[in-house]
Structure formats: structure tokens, C-alpha cells
Amino acid sequence: MDINWAMIAPLFVIQGLLLIFALLDWAKAEDYRGSKWMWLFIIIFISMVGPVLYFLFGRKR
């Protein structure tokens, strides 16, 4: 069985979108819970979960 990459591509596209939106928001945000640069590492290096953690806990209202 061959892996059909066209089938899996959307998975990477959505992950990429999550990453991009998290980074855009991170760049614009003013108040962070914890350090700003720590969140950058979390967003980039923990795939999938990182951006979600940032959106949930990273910003102050």
C-alpha cells in the first residue's frame, strides 16, 4: 500500500494554519502569562498542541 500524500496534505495544511495564526497573534499580543519568548518556543516546537496551549493559556484578556 502506497501512502497517498494528497490525502494527508490537509492535515499538514491545518497544522500550518494553526501555527501561523498562533504566531500572528503572539506577535501582536501585549500581555502574556509568563514570558513572551517561552510562548514562542512552545508554539513552534510542540506541534499541534503548542498553538492550542498558547491560545488557551498564553494571553491575558
- Which residues of this protein are in contact with another protein, per CB under 8 A? 1, 3, 7-8, 10-11, 14-15, 17-18, 21-22, 25, 48, 51-52, 55-56, 59, 61
**How many Cβ atoms sit within 10 Å of the Cβ of residue 14?**
11
Q: Which of 31/35 has CB closer to another protein?
A: 31
Query: Least CB distance from residue 9 to another protein, whole Å?
Result: 11
Rounded Cα–Cα distance for residues 22 and 59 (Å): 11
**Cβ within 8 Å of residue 46, ≥6 positions away:** 53
Q: Which of 14/46 has CB closer to another protein?
A: 14
